[in-house]
A and B are shown apart, each in its own frame.
Chain A
């Protein structure tokens, strides 16, 4: 099982994402300018500030050459996870429904939050129990999810912790098939005993189909 982690100019969480993936499988960095997924079995689009967040978060990264390959991979059912800015990129690319808007508070939020698994049947939540509560940090400025249409909700902030004014406390969503998942919280920052929690490991273990304790 090999994970590919996409790096755009302005990405900043690719190293943690690689380290998280490497706990459950092999992991390789994919450069945004390449047309090659290097035979990876799952793709992670990590967090950061791709292209300086210019114009609209995620709006320019989706035109990177590698995103064409990621879109084709996703259409064939390949597992793709977008984290934070990666979530924004996948929404802009039309691989996930909805859009991310500036936080209601207009403040950058950076804190540990409770996240409930609303759907344990996706490629990245199979190792979770339905309704399970995970402790994962958020750190973002533009995390208020919005969609005019119903979506497949995968993660919700637990009661009272919604950090950005997101519609229906939505923290993460999937495409209809459940192979593409995006979320604002950062599971790659919750995989080690030195972190506040290791709950984030479950997302990577789900894709690798190994036990979460691995």
Chain B
């Protein structure tokens, strides 16, 4: 399986990267943009899908400060 893991800052934790992007957009002429958050995406091939949750908790995300979401990538 080709898996895609999306990691994002937990709601309620200040996300200065998101704020910086949000503030930059009006300067470029884009209006009506809000609630921007910056996370990261990790893609990986995995033979045993049951490992995914554990590897997200142990390495790919820090559950204290980040939420993650695992999806399957269509080949």
- Chain B nearest Cβ from A141, distance in angstroms: 11
> CB-CB contacts of A137-179 with B at 8 A, as 1s and 0s?
0000000101110000000000000000100000000000000
Q: Is the CB of B14 within 8 A of A104?
A: yes
Q: Is the CB of B13 within 8 A of A102?
A: no
Tell me, yes or no, whether A101 is within 8 Å of chain B by CB: yes
**Least CB separation from B9: chain A residue:** A101
Which residues from B are CB-within-8-Å of A99?
Answer: 62, 64-65
Complex CA distance for A121 and B62, rounded to whole angstroms: 30
Tell me, yes or no, whether B72 is within 8 Å of chain A by CB: no
* Given known A106-B20, A146-B13, contact A101–B65 (CB-CB < 8 A): yes
Which residues from B are CB-within-8-Å of A56?
Answer: 62
> CB-CB contacts of B36-75 with A at 8 A, as 1s and 0s?
0000000000000000000000011010110000000000
**Least CB separation from B12: chain A residue:** A148
Q: Is the CB of A101 within 8 A of B13?
A: yes
Tell me, yes or no, whether A103 is within 8 Å of chain B by CB: yes
Of residues 99 to 140 in A, which have CB atoms within 8 Å of B's CB atoms?
Answer: 99, 101-106
**Least CB separation from B61: chain A residue:** A56
* Given known A55-B59, A59-B59, contact A146–B65 (CB-CB < 8 A): yes
Which residues from B are CB-within-8-Å of A105?
Answer: 16
Which residues from A are CB-within-8-Å of B60?
Answer: 55
Question: Quick one: which of A63, A103, A144, A148 contacts B64, CB cutoff 8 A?
Answer: A148
Q: Is the CB of B59 within 8 A of A102?
A: no
Q: Is the CB of A59 within 8 A of B17?
A: no
Question: Quick one: which of A98, A106, A144, A148 contacts B17, CB cutoff 8 A?
Answer: A106
Complex CA distance for A147 and B10, rounded to whole angstroms: 12
Question: Quick one: which of A59, A102, A104 contacts B62, CB cutoff 8 A?
Answer: A59
Residue of A98, A99, A105, A147 ringed by the most chain B CB atoms within 10 A: A99
- Add 5 more A-B contacts to A59-B59, A146-B64, A165-B14 (CB < 8 A): A60-B59, A101-B14, A144-B14, A146-B65, A147-B64
State the B residues within 8 Å of A (CB): 13-14, 16-17, 20, 59-60, 62, 64-65
State the A residues within 8 Å of B (CB): 55-56, 59-60, 63, 92, 98-99, 101-106, 144, 146-148, 165
Q: Can you report 20 A-B residue pairs in the complex whose CB atoms are below 8 A from each other?
A: A55-B60, A59-B59, A63-B59, A92-B62, A99-B62, A99-B65, A101-B13, A101-B65, A102-B16, A102-B17, A104-B14, A104-B16, A105-B16, A106-B16, A106-B17, A146-B13, A146-B65, A147-B64, A148-B64, A165-B16
